Amino acid sequence: MRNSQYPQANNDYCDSCGGKGHFLCCEGGCLRSFHFGCLEPPLEIDEVPEESWFCKACRAKAVRSLSPTHVERL
């Protein structure tokens, strides 16, 4: 999905299996996209999160960027 915040579109393939289809796209600034069934845990297509969704790599990057005080709270 392309928007003003992220000028590039997310990948048009699943970053887990490489297949085509319907994806949940990371909103963390990377271009990763995943089939709902390739997520851990898998999601049904009608279970799209209402809030922003971030892939494991972007979540890990965010945790690494936090100070040790913030990490203890996670």
Peptide bond into 41 cis (omega under 30): yes
pLDDT at 63: 85
Domain count, the chain: 1
pLDDT at 18: 97
The CATH number assigned to the domain holding 57 equals 3.30.40.10
* Segments forming the whole domain that contains residue 37: 1-74
CA 31/CA 45 separation, integer angstroms: 20
CA 13/CA 30 separation, integer angstroms: 14
Which residue type, as a one-letter code, is found at position 8? Q
Condensed to tens digits (0 to 9), the pLDDT of residues 34-46 reads 999 999 999 998 9
Does this model's pTM top 0.85? no
